[in-house]
Structure 1
Amino acid sequence: MAPVGGSSEHDVVEKQVKEIIQDLYQVMVQIQTYGTAGVPTAGVLEQQMIDVSSSLQKIHASTSTVPSNQPKVKLPSIPPELFKYVDSGRNPDIYTREFVELTRRGNQLMKGKEEAFGSFRDVLAQEMVKGMPECKEDVRRILEETGGRGGLVDG
C-alpha cells in the first residue's frame, strides 16, 4: 500500500500501530498463561493493559492534533464492507478481486450504453435531416457538440 500524506508522518503512525499490535500480543500471552506459571501474573497483566492504553492514546494524539505548520496525517479509509468481509473469515484479496471484476463489468455495461446512445443519436440525426432538410445545419451543430460526426447529415 502506498503511503498516504507525508512519508515521515505515515511511518510514525505505522510504528505506533505496530506497537499496539505487539502490546495486544503481550496481553494475549499473559491471559493464556494467567495463573499457570506459579507466580502472580495479575500485576504483569495490569501493566500490559496500561501499556495498551497508553499506546492507543499515543496514536490518537498523533492522528488528531498536529502542529499548525504540518498537515494532519490522513489515514486511508477502509470501506465497512471490507471489515464485514474479513470478520466473516474471508480473504481481503478476494474482496479486492471481486470489487475489481464488478467495476470492470459495470464499466463494460456503461460503455455499451454509451455506444448504443451514440448510434441512436446518429440514426436520429439522419432521419431528422431526411424528414426536415431545413434543420440540417442545426442537426450538424448538435451532432458535433455531442461527440458525433457532423458529416453524417451531409450525404
Structure 2
Amino acid sequence: MAPQDSITVAAVEQQLKDIVQNLYGLIVQSVEYTINSDNAMKNEIQMLVQNMVRLAQMAPSVNINIPPEVTAYVEGSRNPDIFTREFVETVQRMNQMLKGRTEAYRLLQETLARDLIDGIPDLKDDITRTVEASGGKIPPPKAPAT
C-alpha cells in the first residue's frame, strides 16, 4: 500500500471513529433527555451529519477492496469474524484434501514405476530418470514371498 493510501485509510478510520462517537453521544443524550438537552442533541446531530458528509467526500479517494461476500455477510447482520473463521476452516480442509491427493498420486507414481521396472527391466533408466525429474523416488524391489 502506498503512503498516500495509508494516510487516506487512516483519515477514513478516524472519520468512522468520530461517527461512532457521535452515535454514542446521541444515545447518551436520548437516555438522559430533559427539556434543557434539546440544544445538546441538536449539536450532536449536526456533528454527526458533518462527519458523515466528510466521510462521503473521502470515500471516492479510498481504494479499499472488500470482497462482496464479506459485504453481504455484514449486510445480513452477521459478524465478519465468523466469516473469516469459516473461510480459514474451509481453506484448511481443502489443504488437507489436496495433501491427501498429492500423497496418493505420489504413491501411484512409485507403484506404477516399480511395476513397470519389474515388467520391462530395459526401461529402468528411463523410468528412474522420469520419476526423479518429477520429484519422486523409486522404491526398492519387492522381496519375493517365501
Q: Same fold (TM over 0.5)?
A: yes
Q: CA RMSD of the aligned region, Å?
A: 3.5
Shift of 1:100: 0.5
Q: How does 1:66-105 map to 2 (within 5 A)?
A: 75=64, 77-105=65-93
2:15 matched to 1:15? no
Distance change in 2, residues 1:121/1:106 (3 Å): same
SS in 1 for 2:129: helix
More helix as a share of residues? 2
Unaligned runs of 5+ in 1: 64-73
C-alpha distance in 2, partners of 1:112/1:47? Answer: 58
Unaligned runs of 5+ in 2: none
Distance change in 2, residues 1:5/1:88 (3 Å): same
Q: How does 1:99-138 map to 2 (within 5 A)?
A: 99-138=87-126
Report the counterpart of residue 131 of structure 2 in structure 1: 143
Report if aligned partners of 2:113, 2:138 keep a CA contact under 8 Å in 1.
Answer: no
- Equivalent pairs counted in the alignment come to 134
- CA deviation string 1:60-100 (max 9, x = no partner): 34x4xxxxxxxxxx53x221111111111111111111111
Structure 1 stretches of at least 4 aligned residues deviating more than 3 Å after TM superposition: 20-27, 36-39, 44-55, 150-153
AA in 2 matched with 1:87: E
C-alpha distance in 1, partners of 2:84/2:78? Answer: 11
TM value normalised by structure 2: 0.68
Amino-acid identity (%): 28
Report the counterpart of residue 60 of structure 2 in structure 1: 60
